[in-house]
Chains A and B, each alone.
Chain A
Amino acid sequence: MAIKIFKNFFKRILGNLFKNTKEIKLGFYGPPNAGKTSLANRICKDFTGEEIGTISKVPHETRKVQFKEKVEISYKGKKMTFKMIDTPGIATKIDYEEFLKYKIPKKEAKERAKEATQGVIESIKWLDDMDIVVVVLDGTENPYNQVNITIIGNLVARKIPVLIVANKVDLKKADIKKIEAAFPEYDVIGISAKFGDNLEEFYESIFKLSKKV
């Protein structure tokens, strides 16, 4: 009996120690060009001084899952360590001709399209490995895109805590209310990854969400 009590005591102490140092896997999901990498870059730059990936106006710039480990985020005296996982944008169609509009040579456009299709497959595979996910949506676009609904549906089915971010609120066309109306059961935070607007509220929500892990 006494041994059992000691065992439970040490298990609890060690468990709590482990929990406090655990790296939370924070995924960034969403459609292409919503600003996933811009947001991940902003956070990584603020807390590690380094960026996670390159950004571009051309869709599907991120075509491979990219990581930044041991990102310690400090907010209001609290600290948490994250493994940031930036994923390629999920789309239902990819046409190399779309890239030609951005003056990318045909051969390169075809290669980009091929890599982008692989990126989508990789993003979907990675869904199972996330602790919490930030779904980054373009605040200027119609939120009733089936890709957004499919991503969130998959996270709910896997019981992964979700935060929805409406990016690009610096643009006049942005409409957070439309995104809130589309996803009434979730917290929606309006931010500008480009200018770093409203990141305080974002960090507060991330810390709150991390407690559910």
Chain B
Amino acid sequence: MTQKKGGKHLGQIKGFSIQFLPYSEIKALNSDDRIRKILKIILDNNIVILQGRLTANEEARLIGDTMAMIGHVKNFRGIELAVISGNTGDSLLGKMAKGFANVLAGGDFSAITVIGPASIVKEMKRNPKKIELLLNR
């Protein structure tokens, strides 16, 4: 899509879509399959909004797998990743209670994970309460 304003060329905005991934869709998957599923969506030029979050180990594996794909998949430069958690201001007791509830439920539902291909998402700026997506043109 090309945008013009007052005759001035504003450049190309690449097409992309945002895909919501409920935790129920990855709950039964093992780590390999979870990462594979997320990477497949990203390689189709989508931004993923995942309900909950991956484990720290899965996040590291996602980064490792992403690195292994750079140079092997055309135009793939990596990902932008940000997690925002709903319990950042909780007391230790509150965190423990939520942690226990999350263990029982199988994931940290108070968190939202945003993952996008670096070819589309130039930068994700995060602070404890918001994620800003700066897109590439």
Measured between alpha carbons, how far is A153 from B83 in the docked complex, in Å? 12
With an 8 A cutoff between CB atoms, is A14 at the interface? Answer: no
Measured between alpha carbons, how far is A150 from B113 in the docked complex, in Å? 12
Residues of B at the A interface (CB closer than 8 Å) are 55-57, 59-61, 63-64, 66-68, 70-71, 77-83, 118, 124-128
Point out the residue from B59, B70, B127, B128 that lies within 8 Å of A150, measured CB to CB: B59
Please give, as numbers and ranges, the residues of chain B lying within 8 Å of A93 by CB-CB distance. 66, 70, 77-80, 118
Which of B61, B70, B81 lies at the interface centre, i.e. has the most chain A CB atoms within 10 A of its CB? B70
Q: Is the CB of B57 within 8 A of A121?
A: no
Q: Is the CB of A92 within 8 A of B56?
A: no
With an 8 A cutoff between CB atoms, is A94 at the interface? Answer: yes
Measured between alpha carbons, how far is A142 from B126 in the docked complex, in Å? 8
With an 8 A cutoff between CB atoms, is A194 at the interface? Answer: no
With an 8 A cutoff between CB atoms, is A157 at the interface? Answer: yes
Measured between alpha carbons, how far is A124 from B55 in the docked complex, in Å? 15
Measured between alpha carbons, how far is A156 from B57 in the docked complex, in Å? 10
With an 8 A cutoff between CB atoms, is A137 at the interface? Answer: no
Please give, as numbers and ranges, the residues of chain B lying within 8 Å of A156 by CB-CB distance. 56
State which residues 113-131 of A face B: CB under 8 Å: 113-114, 117-118, 120-121, 124-125, 127
Q: Is the CB of B77 within 8 A of A150?
A: no
| Known A92-B118, A124-B61, A150-B59; 6 more pairs at CB < 8 Å | A92-B81, A93-B77, A93-B80, A95-B118, A125-B64, A142-B125
Measured between alpha carbons, how far is A19 from B60 in the docked complex, in Å? 31
Please give, as numbers and ranges, the residues of chain A lying within 8 Å of B118 by CB-CB distance. 92-93, 95
